Amino acid sequence: MTEMDPTPHLERLGLRLCSPLQITVATVCGSPIAGGWLRAGNHRLLGRRGSWLTILEGIVVTALLFPAWGRETSIEVARLLMVLAYAIWVGRRDKATYDYFRSSGGQRRSSWYVLGVCAVVQVVLGLVVTALVLGALLAILSRHPTSADGRLRPM
């Protein structure tokens, strides 16, 4: 049995994998973290070890692309192209395994599940960014000079 051969696990009824297209869409809409989460789920269901590495890969890619968010239009377009290229690459990495899985009677995971993963990842990322911004704001305000009555003085 090779790593690409999911045959020993197909006898489990109800085994469902995310398709390469679902992983690509999740990577674009939910961030590379969402795509990594879905790939990790596929790897776990197929009995592969180290599936957490796909989530870590998504976190690293998201962190590398994050500084470009909200900048000039040309940088935003470049970031979008990088995400699309990464999404297509990630979605196609396991295509042979998925095709074999489907031809052997395996089922595709629900698109609602994929949408839910995207939503959860977006909410968590939003909370993390909000916490970072509030933390930075509090750090700046704690260093700002105040008057005796606690009001901020102009600098």
Phi, psi at 55, each rounded to 5°: -70, -40
Give the pLDDT score at 117: 94
Does residue 28 belong to any structural domain of this protein?
yes
In a domain, 97, yes or no: yes
Number of domains in the chain: 1
pLDDT tens readout for residues 100-153: 888 888 889 999 999 999 999 999 988 988 998 899 888 887 776 665 566 666
% of residues, the chain, pLDDT over 70: 74
Q: Is residue 58 part of a domain?
A: yes
124, 62 contact by CB (below 8 A):
no
> Hey, what are 62's tokens?
């998201």
Q: Which residues pair with 146 in a beta bridge?
A: 152
Confidence label for 1 from pLDDT (cuts 50, 70 and 90): very low
Is 151 among the domain residues?
A: no
Residue 79 lies in a domain: yes
Give residue for tokens 């700046």.
140
Q: Looking at the domain assignment, is residue 21 inside a domain? A: yes
Give me the domain span that covers residue 133: 16-143
pTM above 0.75, yes or no: no
